[in-house]
């Protein structure tokens, strides 16, 4: 009898130990991997994210697949949440199950706050609560437009609130306070930082002296050739031509301020988890929707197939994740959904393009695919196999080849070097294979091509509606 009573006393502890893990996804906006300390940056302060990497697993070859339009964030979010390639679903999630919906249907409370650049009805289907949601691609950080999910699936009228990072972080902490302690949760916080406008709060702007900000090793005054599609995409208007070191250092200081503010906010959310004794049973995932050029190759935005646009940071930390581990496996962000379901022991959908890399946490697998295929609109296609990467520009009939091990900044085109023809042929064959695999119909050769020459002096730079006056005065005045 005493033994039975002892076991009955232990039963609540067994239940607690077997409670399914909570999951939080922190999703940065326009954050290039090389802007984080744990990815080698020595001047941008990111202690919280660096700590997640030190206590978890950092992935160095994670990619988005690309986009069919200039707002890469929209298809990127759809791929993350559905596990499907944008070549199949574009940026539309309606009719496709999200990871939040799958967990909600299996007993999880699901929460989101932040940027949602996709269909509204998917929020209502996927989340138990959604508050301070920004439906759109960007906003003035100081006056973010927010809506809340109502019980009937509709949304409140738009309210303009305070600084985006603070609003979203506080909302996440409120969710933690409100959450019933007997149920697991899934929380999704897609920030609007460090997306422009590059207008950090004054205390974060003061952290970085523009004169001391280093430029990317592949900084250029302008891109050396025309892509075959408009060079006037909105992002490229954010700095004057030619790009100057002074202007780009100033923008890097502002970019860094936004990043550090986001990092501190993530730290506050984690501190709230600690205070509620939730950290040990919470899987934390950090990643970005895409990278950003910030002067690399003479570009400002993310509308290219270069590494600084398509390669993104990704970190897993929490129960069952090895500490201080690193993986160079070729992964896509659309692999996260099947990985989470495998980690939680939940069956995954059978119509995914993503593959689970959950075995990496048990050190039993190091490779999941042999190549990485990325693209932008119909005008750029790239394939990476091992250290070699090929980019094809069909509308200017141009092919470039890089060895990323020897040339990580993609500065030395090997396509005309003796002996490169076989490597180009091999990579082009793999590119076609990947196009067929993911349903990409874009041509790699077109009948009518245009010149690769271009003149940036013909571009008429105009600010978008979200740029505050101080940014306009600083970067748009002659």
Interval 199-242: pLDDT, tens = 999 999 999 999 999 999 999 999 999 999 888 899 999 999 99
**To which residue do tokens 């408009």 refer?**
230
At a CB cut-off of 8 Å and minimum separation 6, what does 310 contact? 63, 64, 66, 290, 291, 374, 382
159 part of a folded domain: yes
Instruction: Give yes or no for residue 300 having a pLDDT over 50.
Output: yes
Average pLDDT, the chain: 94
SS3 assignment, position 256 = helix
Q: Is residue 330 part of a domain?
A: yes
Give the burial class of 216: count Cβ atoms within 10 A of its Cβ; 0-12 exposed, 13-18 middle, 19 or more buried. Answer: middle
Question: Nearest-CA neighbor of 452 among 374, 402, 399?
Answer: 399
Task: Decide: helix, strand or coil at residue 466.
Answer: coil
Q: Quick one: tokens of 60?
A: 């160095």
What is the reported pLDDT for 477? 83
> Do 361 and 404 sit in the same domain of this protein?
no
Q: Phi-psi region for residue 370, left (φ > 0), alpha (ψ -120 to 50) or beta? A: alpha
What are 34's two structure tokens?
């090389």
Predicted confidence (pLDDT) per residue in 81-130, tens digit: 999 999 999 999 999 999 999 999 999 999 999 999 999 999 999 999 99
Give CA separation, 39 vs 44, 106, 207, 315, 322, in Å.
11, 36, 20, 11, 18
The Cα–Cα gap between 288 and 282 comes to 20
Structure confidence at residue 10 (pLDDT): 39
Token code pair at residue 357: 């890399």
451 has a pLDDT exceeding 90: yes
478 belongs to a structural domain: no
Establish if 385 belongs to a structural domain.
yes
The answer to whether residue 17 scores a pLDDT higher than 60 is no
pLDDT tens readout for residues 67-86: 999 999 999 999 999 999 99
pLDDT on residue 16: 43
Share of the chain above pLDDT 70, in %: 96
Which comes out higher in pLDDT, residue 18 or 456?
456
339 and 383 fall within a common domain:
no
The mean pLDDT value for 293-308 works out to 98
Residue 459 lies in a domain: no
Is residue 5 assigned to a domain?
A: no
* 139-162: burial string, b at 16+ Cβ within 10 Å, e else: bbbeebbbbbbeeeeebeeeeebe
pLDDT reported for residue 4:
39
Q: Does residue 308 sit in the same domain as residue 438?
A: no
The last residue of a domain, from among 320, 338, 369: 369
Phi/psi at 325 (5° precision): -90, 160
Q: Are residues 270 and 384 in the same domain?
A: no
Q: Please state the domain count of the chain.
A: 2
> Is the model's pLDDT at 380 over the cut of 90?
yes
- Higher per-residue pLDDT: 12 or 47: 47
Residue-wise pLDDT tens digits, 140-178: 999 999 999 999 999 999 999 999 999 999 999 999 999
Residue 356 sits in a domain whose CATH number is 3.40.720.10
> Does residue 57 share a domain with residue 77?
yes
Residue 422 has pLDDT above 60, yes or no: yes
Report pLDDT for 322: 96
Structural domain harbouring 406: 375-446
CA separation for the pair 138, 144 (Å, rounded): 9
**Listed residues 315, 347, 369: the one ending a domain:** 369
Instruction: Please check whether residues 402 and 289 belong to one and the same domain.
Output: no
State whether 311 and 415 are in the same domain: no
In a shared domain, residues 381 and 351: no
Q: Phi and psi at residue 424, in whole multiples of 5°?
A: -65, -45
Same domain? 365 vs 395: no
Provide the pLDDT confidence category of residue 313 given band limits of 50, 70 and 90: very high
151 plus 227 within the same structural domain: yes
Distance CA 51, CA 270 (A): 11
Whose CA is closest to 168, among 268, 38, 296? 268
Structure confidence at residue 12 (pLDDT): 42
Boundary residue ending a domain (337, 369, 401): 369
Q: Do 402 and 357 belong together in one domain?
A: no
Nearest one of 130, 133, 141, 171 to 269, comparing CA atoms: 171
Tell me the Cα Rg of the chain: 23
Q: How confident is the model at residue 18 (pLDDT cuts 50, 70, 90)?
A: low
Residue 386 region by backbone torsions, left for phi larger than 0, else alpha for psi between -120 and 50, else beta: left
Burial (0-12, 13-18, 19+ Cβ within 10 Å), 347: exposed
**CATH of residue 400:** 3.30.1120.10
Residue 180 confidence (pLDDT) = 94
Q: Does residue 11 sit within a domain?
A: no
Name 34's Cβ contacts closer than 8 Å, sequence gap at least 6. Answer: 40, 41, 216, 308
Nearest to 420 by CA among 392, 385, 388: 388
- Give the alpha-carbon dihedral of 264, 162, 137, 202, to 10 degrees: -60
Q: What percent of the chain has pLDDT over 90?
A: 93
Phi-psi sector, 90: left (phi>0), alpha (psi -120 to 50), beta: left
**40 and 164 share one domain:** yes
Is pLDDT larger for residue 231 or for residue 395? 395
Between CA 186 and CA 176 the distance in angstroms is 11
The answer to whether 187 and 270 are in contact (CB under 8 A) is: no
420: left (phi over 0), alpha (psi -120 to 50) or beta: alpha
Give the per-residue pLDDT at 478.
Answer: 66
Q: Which two tokens stand for residue 419?
A: 């002996």
Confidence band, pLDDT 50/70/90 cuts, at residue 365:
confident
Name the nearest CA neighbour of 245 among 217, 203, 205, 224: 217
């Amino acid at each position: 009898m005493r033994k039975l009573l002892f076991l009955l006393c232990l039963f609540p502890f067994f239940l607690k130990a077997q409670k399914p893990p909570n999951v939080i996804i922190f999703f940065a906006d326009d954050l290039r991997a090389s802007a984080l300390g744990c990815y080698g940056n020595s001047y941008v302060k990111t202690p919280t994210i660096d700590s997640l990497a030190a206590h978890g697993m950092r992935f160095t070859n994670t990619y988005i697949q690309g986009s069919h339009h200039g707002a890469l964030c929209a298809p990127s979010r759809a791929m993350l949440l559905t596990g499907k390639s944008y070549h199949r679903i574009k940026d539309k999630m309606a009719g496709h199950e999200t990871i939040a919906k799958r967990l909600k249907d299996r007993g999880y409370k699901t929460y989101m706050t932040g940027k949602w650049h996709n269909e509204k009805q998917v929020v209502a289907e996927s989340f138990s609560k959604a508050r301070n949601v920004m439906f759109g691609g960007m906003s003035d950080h100081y006056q973010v437009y927010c809506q809340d999910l109502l019980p009937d699936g509709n949304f409140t009228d738009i309210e303009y609130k305070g600084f985006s990072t603070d609003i979203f972080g506080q909302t996440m902490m409120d969710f933690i306070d409100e959450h019933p302690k007997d149920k697991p949760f899934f929380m999704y916080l897609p920030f609007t930082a460090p997306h422009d406008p590059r207008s950090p709060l004054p205390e974060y702007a003061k952290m970085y002296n523009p004169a001391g900000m280093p430029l990317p090793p592949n900084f250029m005054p302008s891109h050396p050739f025309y892509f075959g599609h408009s060079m006037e995409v909105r992002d490229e208007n954010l700095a004057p031509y030619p790009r100057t070191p002074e202007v780009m250092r100033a923008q890097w200081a502002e970019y860094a301020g936004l990043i550090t503010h986001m990092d501190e906010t993530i730290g506050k959310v984690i501190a709230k988890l600690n205070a509620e004794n939730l950290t040990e049973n919470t899987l934390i995932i950090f990643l970005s929707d895409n990278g950003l050029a910030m002067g690399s190759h003479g570009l400002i935005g993310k509308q290219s197939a270069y590494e600084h646009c398509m390669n993104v940071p990704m970190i897993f930390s929490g129960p069952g994740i090895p500490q201080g581990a690193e993986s160079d496996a070729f992964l896509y962000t659309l692999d996260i959904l099947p990985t989470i379901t495998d980690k939680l022991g939940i069956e995954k959908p059978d119509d995914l393009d993503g593959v689970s890399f959950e075995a990496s946490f048990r050190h039993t697998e190091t490779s999941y695919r042999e190549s990485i295929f990325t693209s932008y609109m119909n005008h750029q296609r790239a394939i990476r196999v091992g250290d070699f990467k090929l980019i094809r520009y069909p509308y200017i009939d141009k092919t470039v080849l890089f060895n990323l091990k020897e040339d990580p900044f993609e500065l030395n085109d090997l396509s005309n070097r003796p002996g490169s023809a076989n490597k180009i042929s091999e990579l082009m064959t793999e590119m076609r294979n990947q196009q067929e695999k993911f349903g990409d119909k874009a041509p790699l050769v077109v009948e009518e091509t245009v010149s690769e020459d271009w003149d940036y002096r013909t571009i008429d730079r105009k600010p978008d509606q979200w740029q505050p006056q101080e940014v306009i005065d600083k970067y748009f005045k002659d």
